[in-house]
Structure 1
């Protein structure tokens, strides 16, 4: 009898180490990615590391508890989930993002970045939404702005190295060609700093992403006077083509099951048109 008891205990001890392995194996097998990414194609195997500048509510911002919130946060989380990867956001200012991406510090950029031909040649870019530019004034400003021409001779604050800055410089150059005074462009590292400068009287107006202008207007911080100027796709950028292709596949799966549309509807933002597939746009790094 004692022999049988010892035998049962020995068998139990032999089986015990196998249980965690079996459970872990089952858990790993439970997640099937919509597209495969090889570990060597990521900066850190098993992780999708994305740079973000959380200063653009409601797209991406930090709440009162210090946690990341916004549509781009939720979108990134869902993409990583469908690729069976752990998501890690890396907070940093926008101007240093592309050089850091090229240096291999992270896998991609997900910060409401406008797609441009120039950027599409230094990273693999996947458009995922539509954005445009609005012009806002301090809430108590009496300035009348009915068109971009009315910004002639005025000081306009912007976040540097952005689509907004390029658009504003183009408008200013056009004004000069027509014999009008140029726009004084005052650049700041983040959109938050630009807005602080506007409220401090360092500018007459601000050129902002549409969605940020809407949010700031709702909170009574500015008065938006011009809407949906310029306009370009908002895109994610990646250092490796296979990673960009996998992210595009995840977005397509979200569109197919309706979660992509539901997310954009909940935030009131503009999704990519249904007739435009999610894919890399542009040649990528040469």
Structure 2
């Protein structure tokens, strides 16, 4: 009888685990330290660690999907995955076509990287930015000529090869690149605050899923573990909650 009861209990646990909702987490995999592909070919970075933890707290099973940035919102809307967790800033324009969770990174700085500290970034300059980003929108209105690329790597390459005078992107993305360039690239002292922080994007119909992730994000904020995670990936000087 005891063996029968144990087998029944194990069966119930297995059934419960198999019934956990699988959520497909859409990311770019090309924007370190937010998200990138590691040497094992797996999604890694701050958002991988955060996303897995959020799924654990919400009782969900994470499945990671990578996609190009310029198609990341259309692919969410067409059902290729259930969330966007890809360093996406919360903006009024994006909120017209999708929902956001509360932010999991506070409003942070965008900045420029160039070959020299006195590089022109204003009127008459050519500034590279990734297509479809708030940084691209800012450059387009700044008086500089916007040069858009599909990937963040290409924006940096445009500065290195002289195609652009500077690149404008999240400071958290650019600062390590400049630091590791051996002096070839310079992070300019020209920080700009854009957007309402970074959040998870969801379809407007997925209200229950949004509530689950909001609750999980709030738990990590309340116990301090989200701040610790931010500092782990972005350094002690990063903006925290």
TM-score tier by shorter-chain length is 0.7 to 0.9
Distance in 1 separating the partners of 2:162 and 2:174: 18
Aligned residue number for residue 42 of structure 2: 67
Cα distance, 1:185–1:150 mapped onto 2, change above 3 Å: closer
Query: Does residue 193 of the first structure (1) align with residue 154 of the second (2)?
Result: yes
Aligned residue number for residue 252 of structure 1: 218
Contact map agreement 1:136 1:213 (CA 8 A) in 2: yes
Query: Does residue 25 of the first structure (1) align with residue 25 of the second (2)?
Result: no
Aligned residue number for residue 5 of structure 1: none
Aligned residue number for residue 231 of structure 1: 194
Between 94-103 and 157-166, report the one with greater CA deviation: 94-103
Distance in 2 separating the partners of 1:28 and 1:82: 19
SS in 1 for 2:40: coil
Cα distance, 1:60–1:256 mapped onto 2, change above 3 Å: same
Distance in 2 separating the partners of 1:78 and 1:27: 21
Contact map agreement 2:139 2:145 (CA 8 A) in 1: no
Distance in 2 separating the partners of 1:226 and 1:55: 25
Aligned residue runs from structure 1 range 102-117, under 5 A: 102-117=77-92
Aligned residue number for residue 164 of structure 2: 203
Q: Quick one: which of 140, 152, 158 aligns to 1:169? A: 140
Contact map agreement 1:134 1:210 (CA 8 A) in 2: yes
Contact map agreement 1:57 1:215 (CA 8 A) in 2: no
TM-score, normalised by the number of residues in structure 2: 0.86
Deviation, structure 1 residue 162 = 0.5
Query: Does residue 134 of the first structure (1) align with residue 95 of the second (2)?
Result: no
Deviation, structure 1 residue 24 = 4.1
Aligned residue number for residue 118 of structure 2: 144
Larger radius of gyration: 1
Gaps of 5+ in 2: none
Contact map agreement 1:133 1:209 (CA 8 A) in 2: yes
SS in 2 for 1:213: helix
Distance in 1 separating the partners of 2:229 and 2:129: 28
Cα distance, 1:27–1:262 mapped onto 2, change above 3 Å: farther
Deviation, structure 1 residue 86 = 1.4
SS in 2 for 1:185: strand
TM-score, normalised by the number of residues in structure 1: 0.73
Gaps of 5+ in 1: 1-10, 31-38, 40-44, 173-182, 274-286
Contact map agreement 2:123 2:142 (CA 8 A) in 1: no
Query: What is the alpha-carbon root mean square deviation over aligned residues?
Result: 2.6
Deviation, structure 1 residue 88 = 1.2
Deviation, structure 1 residue 227 = 4.1
Q: Which digits, 9 at most, give the CA deviation of each residue in 1:60-93, with x for residues without a partner?
A: 1122332222111110010011112111121111
Aligned residue number for residue 56 of structure 1: 31
Distance in 1 separating the partners of 2:224 and 2:193: 29
Distance in 1 separating the partners of 2:207 and 2:14: 28
Distance in 2 separating the partners of 1:150 and 1:116: 24
